[in-house]
Amino acid sequence: MAVPGLPSSVSFQTSQSQMSTSHPITFHERIEDALGNAQLHTALNRATQRFATQRANGLASLPNADGIRDHARLIRAHTLSNLDRYIAQFAEAVEASGGHIHFAKDAAEANAICLEIAKQTGAKKVVKGKSMVTEETHLNDFLEQAGLEVIESDLGERIIQLAGETPSHIVAPAIHKTKEEIGKLLHQTIGAPLTDEPEVMTAAAREHLREVYLTADIGVSGVNFGVAETGSICLVENEGNGRLTTTAPRVHVAFMGMERLVPAMADLSVMLHVLARSATGQKLSVYTNIITGPRRANEPDGPDELHIILVDNGRSKVLASETAEILFCIRCGACLNACPVYREIGGHAYGSVYPGPVGSVLTPSLRGIENWPEMPHASSLCGACREVCPVRIDLPKMLVELRNQGDKAGKTPVWLKAGLMAYRTAATHPALFKLGVQMGQLGTRVLARAGWINRLPGPLAGWTNSRDFPQFPKKSFSQMFSQHGNAEKPRN
Amino acid sequence: MKKANLFVTCIIEAVRPEAGMAVVSVLEKLGWQAQFDPAQTCCGQPAYNGGAWDEARAMARHTLDVLARSEGPIIVPSGSCADMIVHHYPELFAGDAKYGPLAESIGQRTFEFAQFLADEIGMDEVRTRLHPQFSGAVTYHPSCHLLRGMKIDQQPRKLLALADKAEFAEMPNANECCGFGGLFAIKMSEVSGAMLARKLDNIAQTQAQTVVGCDVSCLLNISGGLHRRGAACETKHLAEILDS
């Protein structure tokens, strides 16, 4: 679907490609697997609680954090309202600085552009920095099938690559692994000394990766923000791998979601005030790279070529939809760390590249609610995500909006729809409602022993899987109130 | 006596009527006579949160019609149902010529129970009139829609502190969801159960004999979990403590 006002090169119909990490089993089976995985439980407990505490401390270090979050939200809202203009400005500035801009309507096109660049470069080896967009397009598989060697340089990403897995968190991809598991993995795969001390593992990984930077032909990275005014891209990271990936190889290819723009450098500063604090609690990430164009003639370092691939892959459709606000997201991961559901099941159980509250909105929005009807229901709507979001995205509101879209698309389970329709009939006819309460009194009396039911029938059995249900008292509130001394007679 | 209207909620109507009667009694002690229209049913939140907005709107229209017959403040002894009426009704009826403005005006005179006591009646007056005798070890569960929807945090805590014979202990990570989430507890029962287990562990650490809250729905979830574990701990609505 075309977005009015967007340049034709970036408004297209969207890809129907799935965003799945191709799990053969159902959502509920994945959830049960996750809940039964003690190691996962340990890893998630350690990491999410540490992140949540660090985030709180990080924001507390910022005078007027609430005001800066409001400002950050305004910048995102303004940029997305004028995205066509800022994309055009950004593209022009990138070209003016000597870089090349490419527009990709979907995952297949983005991957094909990257492969074409690799072919022209004569590349054999690709080193990659962390990028969720390339997870979205499944770039690694695609390049490997074309005969290229792809090596992740972010330690978390490298760990899961060595383990043959996918990221389970948008900031900390290996969050589902304990340090003990990682120690074993690095020992078996890259010959690191067997240890559970992160410092020793990191030193071994550094040695292992150093060689890769020097021999890679292409560096592929993601982009945290593009600056429309200057054509710069900003990349935040903690390991220096981003800087090496984008400067050591001869060609740098940056994958960028088309919504990740800010108008000017001053706006970038506002976003950087909240990004690292929300993600890890850091005031700034250890490395904040701002890259404008490839190496210039008088510069000793940097790539000869810079290619920026601006990826739509469903975003222009979302921009024109009820859930457009999800494009405000700056991928800090705070909503994952705060989410009580994510803390229990981790990222893989969602079955989507983007997990947690943001994923439960983003994936059905990008890929269609008809393909992802269950994801928005993986939330108790507790609102913890909205509370921590640096740009104040109303995630619960959009989860409910998507549930409504699913309902309209006929995705509410038959038993539930029938139940809600019956409940609606009762709740709009007070006499029927009273009768329903009386039936509840009778029904729960039949099922209860000593006042409690430990096994409810039918779909309600979900409740009694983990808790008892009380017998209804003999009298309802209406009955008690009508016998109450001070009760005023109702007017009708 | 001044008059206040009670929207008692479907769950108190059927499952915890004593909590509703405690609200009536507390209001009387504070000089407010509770009026109750028996035509009221359910605010429609389960359908709204489940995505079934046609059903939700039908229930919301019925609730608005019933509440429109009243005058003066509407007291809701539930953060979640109050949040539905105050915040989600105007969203559901945006652009509706009749129910849009009605939702706005009803929302403006709708208060959650603790909010009405602490902010509308005022803590000074409540303090002089209420002397709850409840004793024992208690902890407080801040329900999500009360805390993050209605943004009511300190009011119930101050009111609970009026029970000065009770020993209060804060549970770890008190602001975390108990796993109820309405239909979530049934549709996503595995995750809901895991979240509840975490909440019950946190409650156990306080050694409280009573968990106090302002949402009977969450308390139903917690009490069901406590009973399943055989824990010597019960749940009470804040009004039941204040009425003691």
Cα–Cα distance measured from residue A253 to residue B70, given in angstroms and rounded to the nearest whole number: 65
Chain segment A468-478, per-residue pLDDT in tens: 999 999 999 99
Query: Measured between CB atoms, which of A381, A430, A441 is closest to B38?
Result: A430
pLDDT of residue A294: 97
Q: CA gyration radius for chain A?
A: 26
- Please give the model's pTM, rounded to 2 decimal places: 0.93
CB-CB under 8 Å, A465 with B47: no
Angle at A439 between CA A436 and CA A441, to 5 degrees: 115
The pLDDT of residue A136 is above 90? yes
Kindly give, in sequence order, each residue whose CB lies less than 8 Å from that of residue A313, ignoring residues fewer than 6 positions away.
A14, A15, A104, A105, A106, A107, A110, A133, A136, A137, A257, A366
Cα–Cα distance measured from residue A168 to residue A356, given in angstroms and rounded to the nearest whole number: 9
Q: Assign A487 a pLDDT band (cuts: 50, 70, 90).
A: low
Q: Assign A461 a pLDDT band (cuts: 50, 70, 90).
A: very high
Chain segment A63-111, per-residue pLDDT in tens: 999 999 999 999 999 999 999 999 999 999 999 999 999 999 999 999 9
Q: Can you tell me which residue has the tokens 């799935």?
A: A18
CB-CB under 8 Å, B186 with A463: yes
For residues A73 and A392, the answer to whether their CB atoms sit within 8 Å is yes
Token readout for A348 is 């893989």
Nearest CA in chain A to B184: A380
Q: Assign A306 a pLDDT band (cuts: 50, 70, 90).
A: very high
B contact residues 125-144, partner A, Cβ 8 Å cutoff: 144
For residues B75 and B45, the answer to whether their CB atoms sit within 8 Å is no
User: Quick one: how far is CA A210 from the chain centroid?
Assistant: 30
- Give the β-pairing of A452-453 and B210-213: unpaired
For residues A180 and A162, the answer to whether their CB atoms sit within 8 Å is no
Cα–Cα distance measured from residue A79 to residue A226, given in angstroms and rounded to the nearest whole number: 11
CB-CB under 8 Å, A406 with B51: yes
Q: Give contacts of A381 with chain B, Cβ < 8 Å.
A: 49, 144-145, 181-182, 184
Q: Find, among B106, B17, B78, the residue nearest to A474 by Cα.
A: B17
Q: Give contacts of A385 with chain B, Cβ < 8 Å.
A: none
Token readout for A234 is 């900003």
H/E stretch holding A488 reads none
CB-CB under 8 Å, A35 with B17: no
The pLDDT of residue A486 is above 70? no
Q: Find, among B58, B59, B54, the residue nearest to B42 by Cα.
A: B59
Chain segment A385-425, per-residue pLDDT in tens: 999 999 999 999 999 999 999 999 999 999 999 999 999 99
Q: Which residues of chain B have pLDDT under 70?
A: none
CB-CB under 8 Å, A478 with B13: yes
Q: Give contacts of B18 with chain A, Cβ < 8 Å.
A: 473, 480
CB-CB under 8 Å, B14 with A476: yes
Q: Find, among A388, A373, A276, the residue nearest to A342 by Cα.
A: A388
Q: Give contacts of A469 with chain B, Cβ < 8 Å.
A: 220, 224
> Taking chain A, what is the end-to-end CA distance rounded to the nearest angstrom?
54
Query: Measured between CB atoms, which of A340, A462, A480 is closest to B195?
Result: A340
Q: Minimal Cα–Cα distance from A167 to chain B, Å?
A: 21
The pLDDT of residue A12 is above 60? no
A and B: number of Cβ contacts within 8 A? 214
Cα–Cα distance measured from residue B47 to residue B32, given in angstroms and rounded to the nearest whole number: 32
The pLDDT of residue A4 is above 80? no
The pLDDT of residue A23 is above 90? no
Q: Can you tell me which residue has the tokens 């949040």?
A: B83
pLDDT of residue B74: 98
Q: Minimal Cα–Cα distance from A454 to chain B, Å?
A: 8
Query: Measured between CB atoms, which of B53, B69, B188 is closest to A377?
Result: B188
pLDDT of residue A25: 80
Q: Is B21 on the interface with A (CB under 8 A)?
A: yes
CB-CB under 8 Å, B20 with A477: yes
Region of A450 please: left (phi>0), alpha (psi -120 to 50) or beta: left
Mean pLDDT of A330-351: 96
pLDDT of residue A2: 36
- Give the β-pairing of A218-221 and A125-128: parallel
Query: Measured between CB atoms, which of B8, B59, B187 is closest to A427?
Result: B59
Q: Where are the alpha helices (DSSP H) in chain B?
A: 10-14, 17-29, 45-49, 53-68, 79-83, 89-92, 99-108, 113-115, 123-129, 144, 154-160, 184-187, 189-206, 216-229, 238-242
The pLDDT of residue A181 is above 80? yes
> Taking chain B, what is the end-to-end CA distance rounded to the nearest angstrom?
22
B166 strand-pairing partners: B136
The pLDDT of residue A21 is above 80? no
Q: Is B176 on the interface with A (CB under 8 A)?
A: yes
Give just the sign of the alpha carbon dihedral A298, A301, A304, A310.
negative
Mean pLDDT of A17-29: 65
Query: Measured between CB atoms, which of A433, A467, A492 is closest to B225?
Result: A467
Token readout for B202 is 């946190």
pLDDT of residue A130: 95
pLDDT of residue A492: 43
A contact test, residue of B29, B42, B189 with most A CBs within 10 A: B189
Kindly give, in sequence order, each residue whose CB lies less than 8 Å from that of residue A150, ignoring residues fewer than 6 positions away.
A126, A128, A139, A140, A143, A144
Mean pLDDT of A122-146: 97
Of the given ranges (A38-47, A379-388, B3-12), which has the lowest mean pLDDT?
A38-47
Q: Minimal Cα–Cα distance from A476 to chain B, Å?
A: 5
